[in-house]
């Protein structure tokens, strides 16, 4: 229960990035900007901060990936499925670097 509570703040930030930001996509340029620049930066920074404060956590990374899956069908199309893996890798790098900085 304690781990879930620790993760919740960070997962809320990620959830807002995944579900609120796409509402502001009004053309292809902003869509690409959100998918390729803004959302990965939010994933990386959130995972980095989580890693610094709580160390490496595989469950946290899997939850980030799982949170993105519904957005593929809500906001994007099947071609965005590759971003599940991309955001997972970016979050893993951030979380790993954060856990190294903690030590």
- CA 29 to chain centroid, in Å, comes to 21
Q: Is pLDDT at 57 greater than 70 in this prediction?
A: yes
Q: Is residue 31 part of a domain?
A: no
Total number of domains constituting the chain: 1
Q: Is residue 22 part of a domain?
A: no
Q: Is residue 7 part of a domain?
A: no
Q: Is pLDDT at 91 greater than 70 in this prediction?
A: yes
Q: Is pLDDT at 1 greater than 70 in this prediction?
A: no
Structure tokens at 70: 């519904």
Mean pLDDT of 94-103: 91
What pTM was estimated for this model as a whole?
Answer: 0.91
Q: Is residue 62 part of a domain?
A: yes
Structure tokens at 16: 């807002």
Q: Is residue 50 part of a domain?
A: yes
- Domain coverage including residue 66: 36-103
The per-residue b/e assignment along 18-27, b for 16 or more CB within 10 angstroms, e otherwise, is beebbeebee
Q: Is residue 4 part of a domain?
A: no
In percent, the amount of the chain with pLDDT more than 70 equals: 98
Q: Is pLDDT at 103 greater than 70 in this prediction?
A: no
Q: Is residue 29 part of a domain?
A: no
* Distance, CA of 86 to CA of 74 (rounded, Å): 19
């Amino acid at each position: 229960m304690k781990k879930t509570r620790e993760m919740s703040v960070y997962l809320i930030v990620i959830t807002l990035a995944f579900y609120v930001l796409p509402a502001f996509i009004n053309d292809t340029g902003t869509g690409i900007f959100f998918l390729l620049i803004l959302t990965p930066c939010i994933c990386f920074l959130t995972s980095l901060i989580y890693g610094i404060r709580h160390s490496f956590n595989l469950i946290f990374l899997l939850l980030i990936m799982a949170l993105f899956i519904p957005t593929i069908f809500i906001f994007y199309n099947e071609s965005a499925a590759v971003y599940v893996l991309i955001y997972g890798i970016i979050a893993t790098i951030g979380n790993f670097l954060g856990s190294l900085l903690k030590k």
